Structure 1
Amino acid sequence: MKRFFSQIGPGTLVAAAFIGPGTVTVCTLAGVEFGFTMLWAMVLSVIATIVLQEMAARLGLVTGKGLAQVLRDEINSPAFKFIALALVVSAILVGNAAYEAGNISGGALGLQTLIPNSQVDIGSIRLNTLSITIGLLAFVFLFVGRYKLIERSLVVLVIFMSLSFLLAAFLTEPAWIEVLKGLFVPSVPKEGLLTVIALVGTTVVPYNLFLHASLVKEKWRDERDLKAARRDTYVSITLGGLVSLAIIICGAGIQQSGISSAAGLAAGLKPLYGELAKWVVSLGLFAAGITSAITAPLAAAYVAKGCFGWQGGLKSNTFRLIWMLVLLMGVIFSSIGWSPIEIIRFAQVANGLLLPIIAIFLLWAVNQRKILDSYVNKPVVNLLGVLIILATLILSIRSLERVFELNLLG
């Protein structure tokens, strides 16, 4: 087991991060509401994730810098630098606060089935004590700085959850012809656009682009390890994508609607575990939630550190201030009584809206020959990057049209 963990690369941690409570919830609801018709969106999301995360890993490994630090060091125009860094900081802080609320709500959603009476009233405000408890646990691990051991332990639970869904996908005996059609024939059902954006947002997580560029510096030495970093990225994210597809297939096999709790999500595992599914889903959601609740604030803090050139590590006051802010906002939004499912869905949609901003900056950075030399993007990778940005921009605009009842694209 020790050898297994020593071989885990940043790609595996990135995959474990996006297979969080948001993925479990959004993919399950996509299957419940739209059957197999959304599988193609997940396939494209996985391809986009591989392309963008490879860029981030290459940037971090060759330059020895995170994406935020590259933007700060390499943009020459003071005005453009200020605009770029302001956009990055605001996007990551807002996006991670929403994502953190989804993480904490997902963890609480898992425990809610096991501990149903978790609400307390303070005046006119009803608080979810499970959300506060998960927030306090994340705070302790982050503040002490000994989070790695618990994170690795929780990854085991997330892997257990993932294997359960992969097996359950086969045991639900889906119509494989319909599955293949859903994989390769794009279709956006009525009222399904926000679900497409949510699937993109739950897979191509903007903060993972910053996190990956920083993690590769810790795992490997320099560009000589680029082959290993790429292999780690391709394999890990592909496996994560297979898990997400399996969850959608499980959701399509759930013969009920109005899912709003872990008990409903557990129906996807009943063919495998029966009544034990409640415990499997509960522990899996809790594990995914607490792991991501630790990772998201850390990523935001690393972004702020790179943007502002702060010195010091995990225990510095400025570093702690950022992750505390993100964690606090996540706890507040998660604990004031809003529907956990709706918070999680909002977080994924928010990530989908923020993705084009971050992807544009990443694509610019990996085309700077003065910092990457011969490791700049090849033309085909640039083409894929531009197509991904255009696709996410169109999805984002369509989402804004739906929300504000506009007609921006005609």
Structure 2
Amino acid sequence: MSLFDRPEPATDRAWSQPRGEAALADVHRSIPLGVTRWQRFLAFLGPGYMVAVGYMDPGNWATSLAGGSKFGYTLLFVALLSNIMAIVLQSLSARLAIASGRDLAQACRDGLPRWTRLPLWLAAEIAIIATDIAEVIGTAIGLNLLFGIPLELGVIITSLDVFLILWLQRRGFRKLEAFVIALLGIIAVSFLAQIVLADPDWGGVLKGFMPTTDILTNPDMLYLALGILGATVMPHNLYLHSAIVQTRAWGNSTAEKREALRFATIDSTVALMFALTINASILILAASAFHANGQTEVADLGDAHRLIGPLLGAGIAPVLFAVALLACGLNSTVTATLAGQAVMEGFLHLRIAPWARRLLTRALAILPAAGVTILYGTDGMGELLILTQVVLSMQLSFAVVPLVAFTTQRSKMGDLVAPLWLGAFAWAIAAVIVVLNLKLLSDFF
């Protein structure tokens, strides 16, 4: 029997068609793992931090600032719960990729009825556009705060980031990851300094991590809680992670796949705990600087920048805030581009040049961002930021339910099927997301 006559493995026969060319084919399996166990572990560090970028994007800032200023430390529990959900779901995303060789978009295409493909693709694209709107707004505000560039011009300038991404991609995927991690370090240092200046009530912080029923009985709090959920557990990250983890060149044996899954899970878990630290810092900063001083309606990034210096009594605080915001916007741009590429290639088998894909997505994001900026200024941009995060939350079910369904089926996952306890936990997370979104719709209508 020749190499080309070998039967397909069981996990491939469970899908409706062969996978075809991998998403992000130019970097697929491009990173060698090394010989020693330590080298292989280090080789897997990176994708988790690229995924973590989506958990601290400018849209997350808006929801965390609004939640902290309006309700103090209360919504810290939501940030913690959302992060736990994210850790589980991102581990399943990596599991799907390593077990089946498919990213989530390809799995939806090959594992679900044909009539579902277009609606699921549209839902994924809406989520990416919502993410991109947040990046456009965050980057434009960052440019305005640091350099005085008008918001309208800043929105247009964000379209040029396609050249930054193309330059980074040409230098290799590890260089791209290094760029992202460096910006994450800038964000962390900026917020650490601001937290020190804010001197929060640490007793209140600890109490904020405890669950409360107020979230379910207060529609305003539920709206912001869902915004935090949508900003934390982001649909496009599930597609992204399942694609970029495949840049690592693990072997084909079950033992090698199990090792790859273990290292990828450690990478994403540690990175998401770092993201929780940043998200909690934003909310703690808002609670201690704004809520504690009677400023309970701060949802606008520009207002936060203007108020933070006088309230903290330090002139450097606004600069740190603006630098971190700009770093977040640039980072989110890189990861949203990769997610958009994986979604289009996976669902539609359609490959277009990365620069064309990026300009198309950015154009769809610039139009509403520019329109709101011209008509309503920074106040409208703040409201639009929060709305994008709620839209992301509403799209979550369309990514989470298929992901959990695939990873709990032995026919599709083989020996790497999610264990019963993990599958039960994941289905519970999916149910919580669906119920909360139905509650939000009920309250809205």
Residue 322 of structure 2 is matched in structure 1 by 282
Q: Which position in structure 2 is the counterpart of 1:207? A: 236
Q: Quick one: structure 1 residues 82 and 110, their matched pair in 2 at CA, closer, same or farther if it must change by over 3 Å?
A: same
SS in structure 1 of the partner of residue 115 of structure 2: helix
CA distance 1:245–1:118, change in 2 (3 Å): same
Correspondence for 1:47 among 84, 97, 103: 84
Out of 388, 399, 417, the residue aligned to residue 347 of structure 1 is 388
1:202-241 equivalences under 5 Å are: 202-222=231-251, 223=257, 224-241=259-276
1:91 matches 2:123: yes
User: Percent of aligned positions with the same letter in both sequences?
Assistant: 25
Secondary structure of the structure 1 residue equivalent to 2:73:
coil
Runs of 4+ in 1 over 6 A off after TM superposition: 269-273
1:196 pairs with one of 208, 211, 225: 225
Computing the radius of gyration from Cα coordinates, the structure with the larger value is 2
Aligned equivalent of 1:122? none
Q: SS at the partner of 1:47?
A: helix
TM-score, normalising length: structure 1: 0.85
Q: Which of the numbers 356, 363, 380 marks the counterpart of 2:421?
A: 380
Q: Distance in 1 between matches of 2:309 and 2:50?
A: 25
Taking the aligned partners of 1:154 and 1:376, their CA distance within structure 2 comes to 31
3-state SS of the aligned residue for 1:169? helix
**1:82 partner letter:** W
The change in CA–CA distance for 1:151 and 1:225 in structure 2 (over 3 A counts) is: closer
Aligned residue for 2:186? 160
User: CA 1:170 to 1:276, structure 2 compared with 1: closer, same or farther past 3 Å?
Assistant: closer
Q: Distance in 2 between matches of 1:113 and 1:161?
A: 16
Q: How does 1:7-406 map to 2 (within 5 A)?
A: 8-75=45-112, 80-83=113-116, 85-116=117-148, 118=150, 128-138=152-162, 141-142=165-166, 145-146=169-170, 149=175, 152-153=178-179, 155-186=181-212, 187-188=214-215, 189=218, 191-222=220-251, 223=257, 224-254=259-289, 255=293, 256-259=295-298, 260-262=300-302, 264-265=304-305, 267=307, 274-310=314-350, 316-317=352-353, 321-338=356-373, 339-403=380-444, 405=445
Relative to structure 1, is the Cα distance of residues 257 and 195 closer, same or farther in structure 2, using a 3 angstrom cutoff? same
Distance 2:55 2:248 in 1: 20
- Indicate if the aligned counterparts of 1:25 and 1:265 stay in contact, CA closer than 8 A: no
Decide whether the 8 Å contact of 1:25 with 1:341 is kept in 2.
yes
Q: Deviations over 1:241-261 (max 9, x none)?
A: 122112111110123344323
The offset of 1:176, in angstroms, is 2.5
CA deviations over 1:378-402 (Å, ceiling 9, x no partner): 1111121111111111221122223
**Structure 1 range deviating more: 185-194 or 97-106:** 185-194
The answer (yes or no) to whether the contact 2:309–2:317 under 8 Å persists in 1 is yes
- Quick one: structure 1 residues 297 and 82, their matched pair in 2 at CA, closer, same or farther if it must change by over 3 Å? farther
Q: For the residues of structure 1 that align with 2:284 and 2:105, how far apart are their CA atoms? A: 37
Q: Which amino acid aligns with 2:407?
A: V
SS at match of 2:408: coil
Deviation per CA, 1:198-250: give whole Å up to 9, x if none: 10011101010011011111035151322111111111111211221121111
Take 2:167 and 2:69, find their aligned partners in 1: how far apart are those partners?
A: 39
Distance 1:273 1:137, change over 3 A: farther
CA distance in 2, matches of 1:117, 1:167: 26
**CA separation of 1:280/1:7 partners in 2, compared to 1, >3 Å: closer, same or farther?**
farther
Q: What are the superposed Cα offsets for residues 179-210 of structure 1, whole Å, 9 maximum, x if unpaired? A: 22211122324511110011001110101001
**How far did 1:293 drift?**
2.1
CA contact (8 A) 2:49 2:181 kept: no
TM-score scaled by length of structure 2: 0.79
CA distance in 1, matches of 2:307, 2:347: 44
Query: Which residue does 2:254 correspond to in 1?
Result: none
Give the Cα separation in 2 of the matches to 1:26 and 1:71.
30
3-state secondary structure, aligned to 1:174: coil
